Structures are given as structure tokens and as C-alpha cells.
């Protein structure tokens, strides 16, 4: 009887472990393989708008049938030859880095304050951080349009205060994109930072104070190094989706705000060039995944050496 229970528990654990792998297989690996397949094809006016990679060719001379596979590498070559894609990648990285830095500078004090608050208030404060997720994403972005436009709240306040005499419009600029994306992704920075800071042992700061360390120095030498895992996790959660962001730059940015997400949309839906768009998407994925894998490998080795 005990052996049967042990086998059932083992199988149950195996099924539980298999669920995330099946999920990743169906909703990540399979779509990625489809995009990878399309990226090596050629664009045609047909349905679907790309050529198949493999086809059967009949050799009439020998009476045989051969499987012919044609890989079109010009889609990837085009990304290095056309400045549009290079500028889009660089601008996307720049905007993502600035957004990540802004989220870190704003989110770290918020997470630190919540972690240091009385336990009875932490739940309420965290709910206020998560509260924007209960509202539609588009409604929040359109609200920022009303705030940042020439006759919006900021412009009216500046004119009322006498700081500016004319309407001050931030909308349709890079600054509007930075503000909107920082607002959107700020909770993704606060949550992992709070999870890390909340677990820190207060006795470490007390020991630093007993040794004569001032609060700011204790923060730099104790709290900040121990919170690095939360900083890295929050930065990755903000940076990765920010690189491929499309909606926020499209609604808040101007015509000069070029990001790779907008280029992807134009290639897929405006130009209907699915192979080039797929090649851009694959290159973007590799650009994001490879550094993360290298970082995890280095971090794993450091943890093993620490043990």
C-alpha cells in the first residue's frame, strides 16, 4: 500500500513539474519555431504571404522525386544593410535603458519605504502599487495623453503658476514616451525589489550601527549589495518588454520616435512582409535571450563559488 502511494505521489510530482514545460512548449517554443520558419522564406503575394521552405521536385529524366529545401538568408542580411532596422534597435535599447533607470530610481525608494513600513500597512501599500493593473492599459495611456497635451493638466498648472506664458506640450516627444513607459513598468520594478528588501535581516543594520557606521554608509555597504538580486530581477522585468514596446510609443511618441516594435507592426500589417518581420523578431529575441543566459550562467557560477 505504501509503495502504491509513493508511486502515485511521484507521478503527481512529475505531472506538476511537466505543466510549465508543456506551457512553454505550446506558447513559446512552437510559435518561435513558426516565426523562425517564416524568417527563412520569401515574401509573395499569396495566402499565406510567404513561400514554403521545402517542396517536392519531380525529376522527369530519372523518374525520381527529391525534397528541395531553400533557405533565404537575405531577410537577415537586409537588417544589417538597411539603417532603418539598426536605428530602430539602437533607439529601442536607449529608450528601454532610460526607462529601466527611471523605474529603478523611483521604484527603489518606494520598495524600501514599503519594506520598512509596519507590517499592518505593507499590504495596503502594495495594493496601491498593483492597483493600476486593475484598469485597462489603453485607458491609462489615454489618461496620460490628457495630462501631457498642450491644454492638459501639466500645461494648465504651469501657466496658472506663472512658470510659462504659453501652452507647454510634452505629448508626442521622447519625454512623453519615457514618462508613459516608466509609469507602465514601475510596478514590475517595485515588486521584486520589495520581495528582496522585505527579507533583509534588520540585525545586519544594527550590527553596522554598533560598529560606528552611519545610516547612509550602512545602506551603501549592507542594504544595497544585498538587494542586488532584486535590482537585477526588476531591471530585467522592465528592460525586456520595454525594448519591444509598441503601444506606448505609438500613442505618446512623435513621428521621430522609432522603436523596433513599430517596425515589426509596419512590416507585418502595412507591408505584409512576413519573412522580414519574422527575421527582425528572431533577431530581437536572440538579442535579449543571449545576454540573459550569459548573466544567469555567471551568476550560477558565483553562487557555486560562494558555497
237-272 pLDDT, tens digit per residue, is: 999 999 989 889 999 988 778 899 889 998 888 888
Number of CB atoms found within 10 A of residue 75's CB: 23
Higher pLDDT, 158 or 26: 26
CA distances from 206 to 14, 202, 226, 227 (A): 45, 6, 15, 17
**The pLDDT of residue 4 is above 60:** no
Task: Give the position of cell 513600513.
Answer: 117
Q: What pLDDT is attached to residue 177?
A: 94
Q: What pLDDT is attached to residue 158?
A: 80
Number of CB atoms found within 10 A of residue 69's CB: 9
pLDDT tens for residues 146-185? Answer: 888 888 888 888 888 888 777 778 888 889 999 999 999 9
pLDDT tens for residues 197-217? Answer: 998 888 887 788 777 778 888
CA distances from 6 to 2, 12, 21, 70 (A): 6, 10, 23, 52
Q: What pLDDT is attached to residue 276?
A: 92
pLDDT tens for residues 116-138? Answer: 999 889 889 999 998 888 888 88
Q: Which CATH architecture has domain 73-306?
A: Orthogonal Bundle (1.10)
pLDDT tens for residues 30-74? Answer: 999 999 999 999 988 877 888 888 777 776 666 677 777 888 888
Q: How confident is the model at residue 108 (pLDDT cuts 50, 70, 90)?
A: very high
Q: What pLDDT is attached to residue 87?
A: 92
Q: What pLDDT is attached to residue 5?
A: 58
Amino acid at each position: 500500500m505504501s509503495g502504491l502511494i509513493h508511486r502515485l505521489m511521484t507521478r503527481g510530482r512529475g505531472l506538476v513539474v511537466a505543466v510549465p514545460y508543456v506551457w512553454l512548449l505550446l506558447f513559446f517554443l512552437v510559435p518561435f519555431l513558426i516565426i523562425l520558419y517564416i524568417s527563412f522564406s520569401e515574401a509573395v503575394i499569396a495566402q499565406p504571404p510567404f513561400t514554403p521552405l521545402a517542396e517536392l521536385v519531380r525529376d522527369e529524366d530519372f523518374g525520381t522525386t527529391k525534397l528541395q529545401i531553400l533557405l533565404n538568408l537575405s531577410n537577415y542580411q537586409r537588417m544589417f544593410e538597411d539603417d532603418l532596422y539598426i536605428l530602430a534597435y539602437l533607439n529601442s535599447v536607449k529608450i528601454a535603458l532610460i526607462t529601466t533607470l527611471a523605474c529603478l530610481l523611483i521604484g527603489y525608494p518606494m520598495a524600501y519605504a514599503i519594506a520598512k513600513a509596519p507590517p499592518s500597512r505593507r499590504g495596503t501599500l502594495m495594493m496601491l502599487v498593483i492597483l493600476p493593473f486593475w484598469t485597462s492599459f489603453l485607458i491609462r495611456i489615454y489618461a496620460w495623453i490628457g495630462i501631457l497635451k498642450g491644454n492638459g493638466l501639466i500645461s494648465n498648472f504651469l501657466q496658472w503658476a506663472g512658470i510659462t506664458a504659453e501652452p507647454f506640450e510634452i505629448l508626442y516627444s521622447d519625454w512623453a514616451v519615457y514618462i508613459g513607459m516608466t509609469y507602465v513598468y514601475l510596478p514590475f520594478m517595485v515588486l521584486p525589489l520589495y520581495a528582496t528588501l522585505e527579507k533583509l535581516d534588520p540585525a545586519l543594520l544594527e550590527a553596522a550601527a554598533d560598529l560606528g557606521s552611519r545610516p547612509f554608509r550602512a545602506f551603501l555597504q549592507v542594504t544595497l549589495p544585498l538587494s542586488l538580486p532584486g535590482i537585477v530581477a526588476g531591471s530585467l522585468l522592465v528592460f525586456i518588454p520595454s525594448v519591444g514596446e509598441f503601444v506606448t510609443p505609438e500613442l505618446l511618441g512623435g513621428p521621430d520616435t522609432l522603436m523596433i516594435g513599430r517596425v515589426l507592426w509596419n512590416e507585418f500589417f502595412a507591408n505584409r512582409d512576413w519573412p522580414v518581420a519574422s527575421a527582425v523578431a528572431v533577431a530581437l529575441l536572440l538579442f535579449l535571450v543571449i545576454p540573459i543566459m550569459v548573466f544567469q550562467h555567471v551568476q550560477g557560477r558565483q553562487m557555486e563559488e560562494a558555497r
